[in-house]
Amino acid sequence: MAGRGTFGRVIVLIILILLLASGGALWFDYLGILNARRFFSPLYSVLGLNPRVGVSTLPGEDGDLDADRVAKRLESLELRTQELDKREGDLRQKEDEIQQVSQELEDRQVSIEEREKTFAQTMRQSEDRAANIDQIARYVNGMPPKKAVENLLAMDDQDIIDIFRTVEAIAKKEGKNSSVAYWFSLMPPERAAEIQRKMANRPVSLP
């Protein structure tokens, strides 16, 4: 008899626990905390109850917690996407700036190289001219004075000036007297005066 009484109490307790669990689940589902409508929908129909759609975390809106979590995740993803788009835009802008600076540096490099080529060409031309003037000066210096003056008068004034200076430099280096003064005396006075004026205004012509 004692065993039957104990078994009966266990059965009653199990039934009571099931009722309490079902009642709690029913109440949480009614409040929208749990989503168990499909299990309790027949009971709602019998009792004529209209359960709440759910507890929303957004003000003024109905919904359940799962939907709110999904909405918040979507919102977070959207913010993250906007942030990544902004970073991408900043990186693209910096890349454009770097390309612009690189292009400017490349243009400057090309300009410097062109200037170096021009300078080198000018130096070669100047060296060639100096060599030619030195050679002509030695030729003229070895001619008879009148013949030398005839050849000089056929040249430009600047060429005559450069030759005169080269002849004077050669004479000074060899310790001899220069023929320039005598050549001036054999030239027409106006041409000689013009050459002397230019020599005074431009003391140095060749490097």
One DSSP character per residue, 143-158 reads S-HHHHHHHHHTS-HH
User: What b-and-e string marks burial along 116-145, b requiring 16 or more CB atoms within 10 Å of the CB?
Assistant: eeeeeeeeeeeeeeeeebbebbeebbeeee
User: Is 136 inside any structural domain?
Assistant: no
User: Is 84 inside any structural domain?
Assistant: no
User: Is 129 inside any structural domain?
Assistant: no
Residue 201 tokens read as 């205004």
Higher-confidence position of 93 and 53: 93
Q: Whole domain around residue 11: which residue ranges? A: 1-52
pLDDT digits (tens, 9 = 90+) for 101-138: 888 888 888 888 888 887 777 777 777 788 888 888 89
Residue 80 exposure: Cα atoms within 13 Å on the Cβ side:
6
User: Is 26 inside any structural domain?
Assistant: yes
pTM: 0.43
User: Is 20 inside any structural domain?
Assistant: yes
Higher-confidence position of 67 and 174: 174
Residue 85 tokens read as 């788009």
Confidence label for 50 from pLDDT (cuts 50, 70 and 90): low
User: Is 8 inside any structural domain?
Assistant: yes
Confidence label for 147 from pLDDT (cuts 50, 70 and 90): very high
User: Is 119 inside any structural domain?
Assistant: no
Q: How far is CA 99 from CA 67, 108, 111, 124, in A?
A: 47, 14, 18, 37
Structural domain count, the chain: 1
Radius of gyration for the alpha carbons in the chain, expressed in angstroms and rounded: 55
Q: What is the pLDDT of residue 132?
A: 86
